């Protein structure tokens, strides 16, 4: 599985900066929907992603970019990342092919759910929350990952790289999820592990929750100004009620 491949069409215009933020709106409207990122949030797949990058660059005879550069690839489409680091279209095609070869061969035996996330999603749905997946993977890859961890039928909607013209950190993926769910931005919380997720959610006007069980630290994610910090998946169950009625985000 190629986690974030949209090789047959542009998924992004190239180098991006965080989009302008819409003002957050804290209202009495109840939270109706929880949106999730996939890789690094529900699916423990980042080590495989990094290994797949290492394989791809070695296969084309190029040095692997340093860790701070590779970190920018987590949460955006592959093609967008390769464009950002200045690769040509033929180079991108070769890198994507090598990445996919390795990732597909390793995927099912290497990925797993983060502890607690399957129970979290089940409990949210039992409490009546709508759920959505908002990912930079293609649809087939996202569906495969969900099935492997037992969440194949747990999302009311799935927004993938295939469904948008402008992926994260642009607000379009979250805007699309809200439209498909039929909920307002004031009624949703987006849980993600990367700055791309946090910028996307803030730009769409939803409240954001930083998943600290993923690959990034609190210091890494602080520039995304999340409304909530989640040390464990279960922390969300305590924070959602606070998000329902509060006039301002908790400290």
Query: Which residue is catalytic, options 37, 39, 175, 235?
Result: 37
Decide if 37 is catalytic: yes
Q: What's the Cα-to-Cα distance from 64 to each of 33, 45, 162, rounded to whole Å?
A: 39, 19, 27
Strand, coil or helix: 231: coil
- Number of helices (H), then strands (E), in the chain: 10, 8
Q: Which tens digit of pLDDT belongs to each residue from 14-30?
A: 334 444 444 444 445 68
**On the CB side of 244, how many CA atoms lie within 13 Å of its CA?**
11
Comparing CA positions, the residue from 241, 203, 242, 236 lying closest to residue 24 is: 203
Asked whether the beta carbons of 111 and 39 are under 8 A apart, the reply is no
pLDDT in tens, 66-101: 999 999 898 888 999 999 999 999 999 999 999 999
The rounded distance, in Å, linking the Cα atoms of 158 and 143 is: 9
Going from N- to C-terminal start, the domains of the chain cover 33-45+112-245, 46-110
Superfamily of domain 46-110: Putative phosphatase; domain 2 (1.10.150.240)
The CATH class of 33-45+112-245 is alpha beta
Q: What is the pLDDT of residues 202-237, one digit of tens each?
A: 999 999 999 999 999 999 999 999 999 999 999 999
By three-state DSSP, how is residue 34 classified?
strand
- The pLDDT of residue 130: 95
> Distance between CA 214 and CA 45 in Å, rounded?
10
CA distance 210 to 249: 14
Q: What is the C-alpha separation between 247 and 141, in angstroms, rounded?
A: 39
Specify the pTM.
0.83
Cβ-contact 106, 52 below 8 angstroms: yes
């Amino acid at each position: 599985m190629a986690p974030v491949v949209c090789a047959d069409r542009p998924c992004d215009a190239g180098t991006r900066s965080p989009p302008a933020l819409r003002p957050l709106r804290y209202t009495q409207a109840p939270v109706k929907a929880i949106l999730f990122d996939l890789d690094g949030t529900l699916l423990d797949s980042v080590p495989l992603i990094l290994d797949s990058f290492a394989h791809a660059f070695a296969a084309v005879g190029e040095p692997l970019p340093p860790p701070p550069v590779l970190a920018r690839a987590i949460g955006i489409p592959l093609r967008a990342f390769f464009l950002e680091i200045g690769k040509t279209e033929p180079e991108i095609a070769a890198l994507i092919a090598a990445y996919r070869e390795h990732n597909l061969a390793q995927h099912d035996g290497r990925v797993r759910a983060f502890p607690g996330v399957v129970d979290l999603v089940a409990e949210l749905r039992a409490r009546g929350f709508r759920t959505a997946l908002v990912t930079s993977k293609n649809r087939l890859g996202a569906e495969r990952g969900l099935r492997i961890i037992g969440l194949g039928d747990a999302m009311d909607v799935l927004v993938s790289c295939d469904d948008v013209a402008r992926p994260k950190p642009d607000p379009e993926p979250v805007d699309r999820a809200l439209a498909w769910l039929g909920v307002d931005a004031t009624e949703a919380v987006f849980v993600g592990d990367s700055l791309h997720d946090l910028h996307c959610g803030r730009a769409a006007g939803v409240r954001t929750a930083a998943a600290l069980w993923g690959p990034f630290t609190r210091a890494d994610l602080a520039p995304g100004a999340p409304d909530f910090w989640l040390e464990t998946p279960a922390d969300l169950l305590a924070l959602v009620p606070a998000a329902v009625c509060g006039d301002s985000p908790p400290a």
